């Protein structure tokens, strides 16, 4: 079981990243914040630190807190730095404890010296994520919001910031709490019914119970579906470029990357390995994989390349099939790719710079794609069609649908795993109702579903889970 809030000791840490900066911040949190800080901070205006107004910036001198120094000698010490300090009185602070921040100059030496003063004066060095953990234990944030803090710090794109912010503000918590309290209400009715089963009193109708379970399952399914978007944001979309040898795959990869990563040659079959690079498109990250050309071969190394191509095709979020527009007869085998059935394919007709305008106009007439879409004429030499291709890529990997107004998106693997377990409980409960099993069995699964949901917000959790989550934070957060 968890401790209740406030863990007694007062912690400190540098909250800004390592390196030189205009400002470096040291954070102190805990019940002894003011008395510890007054041992090495002198407010310029002369008022005693323990009487300063909360939530206001105060100019101060930061001193060395050498225990052997007397109060009088501290007065004549050369300060470590001149800084702004802000006191945030409990519970109106990040941790809900007394917090004091020292905004000093961002020199690593200055920050190390001030940290030393904090320790000498009685602080303990915070462990990673301990400030946020205290915020959680003190009820300032639930677990999904704490994870929103971490996701915000680690966000690498505008979309992932927007989604992390929604979690931080409690959107996920609210959605989960709603589902959970509905399930718990049903459970209470069901359990009351079990107690009166001899008298044949039904406290909740089967139909109503089924309705609630189905609706809950629908919301959980929608959240699980959103986790694909979440994965794209977390890891970037996997866009795989595939096609026959010499059609211009490496050239396209290079064009999209803007440098010369892949080797471009005239000899078919040179790209034997997968080449992976990432590019940023409007804030999201796409991985491009240039693959070995697809063709029959007896060469062992090339065969290995083709095996890897097939694997990459299986894992892709989007496949770009490149076809040489001057050699359409060669294109047919490319369409044997099983990925086509799933619809996430873009066909690019490359080398249109070698065709006349009327030949280009004829292309789409001669081309009917299995999914009914039109191929995209491009030239990696002249750059024609590449802008349109980038737009299509963005559409097809779902980047455009990531508007901040979208409902809760699951980006966290822990949440995804919990929702999958919850979904299993719901399915089992529904099965039990259908097959007329004793209400006690239904109640067990209903309780299971509600408890798993509680793991997202942290009402049901263990120290081990907390340790796993907060150890991912940096010290000072």
Angle of helix 143-154 relative to helix 171-195, nearest 10 degrees? 160
- For the bound state, the minimum distance from the C-beta of residue 297 to ligand GDP, rounded and expressed in Å, comes to 14
Q: How far apart are alpha carbons 45 and 345 in whole angstroms?
A: 68
- Between β-strands 284-290 and 237-243, what pairing exists: parallel, antiparallel or unpaired? parallel
Residue keyed to tokens 């940290």: 115
**φ/ψ (deg, to 5) at 461:** -160, 180
Query: Are the C-beta atoms of 126 and 133 separated by less than 8 Å?
Result: no
Tokens (6 digits) for 393: 């890529």
Residue keyed to tokens 């900066």: 21
Query: Are the C-beta atoms of 262 and 240 separated by less than 8 Å?
Result: no
Residues 183, 187, 188, 191: what is their CA dihedral angle, to the nearest 10 degrees? 180
- For the bound state, the minimum distance from the C-beta of residue 300 to ligand GDP, rounded and expressed in Å, comes to 19
Q: Torsion-angle region of residue 107: left (phi > 0), alpha (psi -120 to 50) or beta?
A: beta
Query: 38 vs 254, which CB is nearer to ligand GDP?
Result: 254
- Look up residue 96 and give its DSSP letter: S
Question: Which of 115, 61, 109 shows the shortest CA–CA distance to 85?
Answer: 61
- For the bound state, the minimum distance from the C-beta of residue 463 to ligand GDP, rounded and expressed in Å, comes to 53
Question: Which of 158, 149, 113 shows the shortest CA–CA distance to 12?
Answer: 113
Query: 119 vs 264, which CB is nearer to ligand GDP?
Result: 264
- The number of residues making up the chain comes to 477
Q: How far apart are alpha carbons 211 and 177 in whole angstroms?
A: 18
Q: How far apart are alpha carbons 136 and 240 in whole angstroms?
A: 42
- For the bound state, the minimum distance from the C-beta of residue 276 to ligand GDP, rounded and expressed in Å, comes to 15
- For the bound state, the minimum distance from the C-beta of residue 341 to ligand GDP, rounded and expressed in Å, comes to 24
Query: 83 vs 349, which CB is nearer to ligand GDP?
Result: 349
- For the bound state, the minimum distance from the C-beta of residue 396 to ligand GDP, rounded and expressed in Å, comes to 21
Q: Which residues bind ligand GDP (CB under 6 A)?
A: 243, 245-251, 264-266, 271, 293, 350-351, 353-354, 379-381
Query: 386 vs 427, which CB is nearer to ligand GDP?
Result: 386
Using CB atoms, what's the residue nearest to ligand GDP?
248
Query: 138 vs 254, which CB is nearer to ligand GDP?
Result: 254
Q: How far apart are alpha carbons 45 and 41 in whole angstroms?
A: 12
Query: Are the C-beta atoms of 227 and 396 separated by less than 8 Å?
Result: no
- For the bound state, the minimum distance from the C-beta of residue 138 to ligand GDP, rounded and expressed in Å, comes to 58
Query: 118 vs 378, which CB is nearer to ligand GDP?
Result: 378
* Alpha carbons within 13 A on the beta-carbon side of 239: 32
- For the bound state, the minimum distance from the C-beta of residue 308 to ligand GDP, rounded and expressed in Å, comes to 15
Query: 117 vs 350, which CB is nearer to ligand GDP?
Result: 350
Query: 83 vs 247, which CB is nearer to ligand GDP?
Result: 247
- For the bound state, the minimum distance from the C-beta of residue 390 to ligand GDP, rounded and expressed in Å, comes to 16
Query: 148 vs 385, which CB is nearer to ligand GDP?
Result: 385
């Amino acid at each position: 079981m968890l401790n209740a809030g406030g863990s007694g000791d007062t912690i400190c840490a540098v909250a800004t990243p390592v390196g030189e900066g205009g400002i470096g911040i040291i954070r102190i949190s805990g019940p002894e914040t003011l008395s510890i800080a007054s041992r090495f901070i002198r407010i310029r205006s002369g008022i005693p630190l323990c009487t300063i107004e909360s939530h206001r910036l105060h100019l101060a001198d930061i001193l060395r807190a050498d225990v052997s120094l007397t109060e009088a000698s501290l007065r004549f010490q050369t300060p470590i730095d001149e800084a702004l300090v802000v006191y945030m009185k409990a519970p109106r602070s990040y941790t809900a404890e007394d917090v004091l921040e020292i905004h000093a100059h961002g020199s690593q030496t200055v920050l190390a010296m001030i940290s030393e003063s904090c320790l000498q004066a009685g602080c303990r060095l915070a462990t990673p994520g301990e400030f946020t953990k205290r915020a959680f234990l003190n009820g300032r944030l639930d677990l999904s919001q704490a994870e929103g803090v971490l996701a915000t710090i680690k966000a690498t794109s505008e979309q992932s910031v927007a989604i992390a912010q929604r979690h931080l503000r409690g959107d996920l918590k609210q959605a989960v709490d709603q589902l959970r309290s509905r399930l718990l209400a049903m459970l209470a009715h069901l359990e009351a019914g079990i107690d009166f089963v001899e008298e044949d009193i039904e406290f909740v109708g089967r139909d109503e119970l089924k309705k609630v379970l189905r609706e809950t399952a629908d919301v959980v399914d929608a959240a699980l579906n959103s986790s694909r978007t979440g994965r794209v944001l977390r890891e970037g979309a996997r866009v795989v470029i595939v096609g026959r040898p010499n059609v211009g795959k490496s050239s396209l990869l290079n064009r999209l990357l803007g440098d010369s990563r892949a080797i471009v040659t005239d000899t078919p079959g040179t790209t034997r390995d997968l080449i992976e690079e990432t590019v940023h498109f409007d804030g999201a990250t796409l991985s491009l994989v240039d693959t070995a050309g697809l063709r029959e071969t007896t060469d062992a190394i090339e065969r290995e390349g083709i095996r890897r191509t097939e694997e990459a095709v299986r894992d892709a979020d989007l496949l770009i099939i490149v076809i040489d527009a001057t050699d359409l007869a060669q294109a047919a085998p490319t369409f044997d790719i099983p990925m086509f059935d799933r619809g996430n394919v873009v066909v690019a007709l490359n080398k249109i710079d070698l065709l006349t305008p009327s030949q280009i106009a004829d292309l789409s007439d001669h081309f009917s794609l299995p999914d009914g879409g039109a191929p995209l004429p491009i030239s990696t030499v002249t750059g024609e069609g590449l802008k349109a291709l980038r737009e299509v890529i963005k559409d097809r990997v779902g980047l455009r649908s990531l508007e901040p107004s979208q409902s809760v998106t699951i980006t966290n693997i822990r949440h995804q795993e919990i929702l999958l377990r919850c979904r299993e409980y719901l399915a089992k409960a529904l099965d039990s109702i259908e097959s007329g099993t004793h209400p006690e069995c239904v109640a067990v699964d209903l309780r299971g579903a509600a408890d798993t949901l509680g793991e997202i917000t942290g009402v049901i959790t263990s120290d081990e889970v907390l340790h796993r989550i907060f150890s991912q934070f940096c010290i000072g957060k």
